[in-house]
């Protein structure tokens, strides 16, 4: 079982939540990890946790929606570790509102971070993957891709990431590169805590409500997503591409 061992992975939005969970898991499995986030100090805190238990990682600062910044971060990572073979498009933001109140800025911000960010990171990373005829690209969709009240921007972006994933799979498959997406349901992170506050509840109540409605009777944690990312990112998953796995405790089942 080789998994991600000795591969170089770039995790966007890796300073906290799901991205930090994936970075820690990949590092524990032997990958060299670039933890990219807006705030370098926050990314460094994740790196410190990884290196503190013997893993290999560096902190990278970039806004994924800015081509020059993504290019510079990828150059730094490749300069440090010599290659790039795994990309996780995970950076994300919420700007929730009902359709009739949604501003142009809130629409554009969400499209820029999720869609333009994944486009830029994938385009810049694939040059290294194509050259080495090997790569794994994983993008973070959401159960909101099915539609979600108050998230006209976010649900559109998350559905868009599924189309991006399938097109990456078609175009890059001949070069040994797979592209897959994970669609998480409720996962307890800063993002879900912020949503709880916005709708006037607590994260504890939100977790209990989610758990009661789910077949698995519990809320999700970043490690649930990291497990699935580790599968997609592993060498053994080379025949799995263009797929979307819902990691949601069964929220779509009736
Ligand atoms: P999170 O805790 O808010 O972490 C997201 C990270 O992305 C933050 O560190 C954030 O930095 C960073 N980021 C935001 N904009 C960025 C940009 N332009 N460039 C680089 N980094 C940027 O969120 P999470 O819950 O872990 O979610 C991770 C991904 O999973 C997101 O794509 C999210 O949409 C998706 N997802 C989450 C859930 C869930 O229940 N948590 C469910 C479905 C899908 P700042 O904090 O500085 O903004």
Going from the N-terminus, what domains does the chain have, and what CATH number goes with each?
8-185+222-247 (3.40.50.720), 187-219 (no CATH)
Segment 100-119 shows an average pLDDT of 98
Q: Find the catalytic residue in 81, 154, 239, 246.
A: 154
If pLDDT is split at 50, 70 and 90, which confidence band does 1 have? low
> Does the annotation count 81 as an active-site position?
no
In the reported structure, the alpha carbon of residue 76 is separated from the centroid of ligand 1 by a whole-number distance in angstroms of 22
Q: Which residues lie below 8 Å from residue 73, measured CB to CB, with a gap of 6+?
A: 10, 34, 36, 60, 61, 62
Instruction: Determine the atom of ligand 1 nearest the C-alpha atom of 18.
Output: 26
**Which residues lie with the beta carbon below 6 Å from any ligand 1 atom?**
12-13, 15-19, 37-39, 63-65, 90-93, 113, 117, 140, 142, 184, 186-187, 189-192
In the reported structure, the alpha carbon of residue 15 is separated from the centroid of ligand 1 by a whole-number distance in angstroms of 9
State the average pLDDT for the chain.
97
d(CA 26, CA 56): 10
pLDDT single digits (tens) 168-214: 999 999 999 999 999 999 999 999 999 999 899 999 999 999 999 99
pTM, 2 dp: 0.98
Q: Quote the longest CA-to-CA distance of the chain.
A: 51
Nearest residue CA, atom 1 of ligand 1?
A: 191
Nearest in space to 147 (alpha carbons), one of 159, 161, 162, 163: 159
User: E-assigned strands of the chain?
Assistant: 8-12, 32-37, 56-61, 86-89, 135-140, 177-184, 244-247
Encoded tokens for 181: 């997406």
Q: Give me the pLDDT at residue 59, please.
A: 99
pLDDT single digits (tens) 33-85: 999 999 999 999 999 999 999 999 999 999 999 999 999 999 999 999 999 99
In this predicted structure, the answer to whether residue 254 has a pLDDT above a threshold of 80 is: no
d(CA 217, CA 230): 24
Q: Give me the pLDDT at residue 66, please.
A: 99
């Amino acid at each position: 079982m080789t998994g991600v061992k000795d591969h170089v992975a770039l995790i966007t939005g890796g300073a906290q939540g799901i991205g930090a969970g994936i970075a820690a898991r990949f590092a524990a499995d032997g990958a060299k990890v670039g933890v990219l986030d807006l705030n370098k100090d926050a990314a460094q805190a994740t790196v410190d946790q990884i290196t503190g238990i013997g893993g290999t990682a560096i902190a990278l600062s970039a806004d994924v929606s800015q081509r020059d910044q993504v290019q510079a971060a990828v150059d730094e990572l490749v300069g440090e570790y010599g290659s790039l073979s795994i990309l996780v498009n995970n950076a994300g933001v919420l700007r929730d509102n009902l359709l009739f109140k949604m501003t142009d800025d809130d629409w554009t911000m969400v499209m820029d971070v999720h869609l333009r960010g994944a486009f830029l990171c994938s385009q810049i990373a694939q040059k290294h993957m194509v050259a080495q005829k090997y790569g794994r690209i994983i993008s973070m969709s959401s159960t909101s891709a099915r539609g979600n009240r108050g998230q006209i921007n976010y649900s559109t972006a998350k559905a868009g990431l599924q189309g991006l994933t399938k097109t990456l799979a078609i175009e890059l498959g001949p070069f040994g590169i797979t592209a897959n997406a994970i669609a998480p349901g409720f996962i307890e992170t800063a993002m879900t805590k912020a949503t709880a506050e916005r709708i006037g509840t607590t994260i504890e109540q939100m977790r209990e409500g989610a758990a009661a409605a789910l077949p698995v009777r519990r809320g999700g944690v970043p490690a649930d997503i990291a497990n699935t990312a580790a599968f997609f990112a592993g060498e053994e998953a080379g025949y799995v591409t263009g797929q979307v796995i819902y990691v949601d405790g069964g929220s779509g089942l009736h």
